[in-house]
Amino acid sequence: MSPAHAGMDPLRSIPSVATGYGPTCTRKVRNAVKAAIVSQFKPTAVTKARELIEKGDIVAIRAPHR
């Protein structure tokens, strides 16, 4: 076990073992991926898209990948 992982509990849940990340790290990775995708668009486009989603003018046609 590396010093960075010393004292940490091993992963036990099926999703955590499958991904190799616990819930906190999974959330951090997911947020980083979202930020990387959003950074490819102009801020005004992101704002407009978020507004349309909130109003229900845009709806998901398929489930997001997990």
Residue 8 belongs to a domain: no
pLDDT tens-digit readout, 7-31: 677 899 999 999 999 999 999 999 9
- For residue 24, give its domain range: 16-66
In angstroms, rounded to a whole number, what is the distance separating the alpha carbons of residues 60 and 18? 26
Cβ(18)–Cβ(12) under 8 Å? no
In angstroms, rounded to a whole number, what is the distance separating the alpha carbons of residues 26 and 17? 11
Residue 51 belongs to a domain: yes
Percent of the chain scoring above 70 in pLDDT: 83
Residue 37 belongs to a domain: yes
pTM for this model (two decimals): 0.60
Does 1 score more than 50 pLDDT? Answer: no
Split into its structural domains, the chain has a count of 1
Place of tokens 């076990």: 1
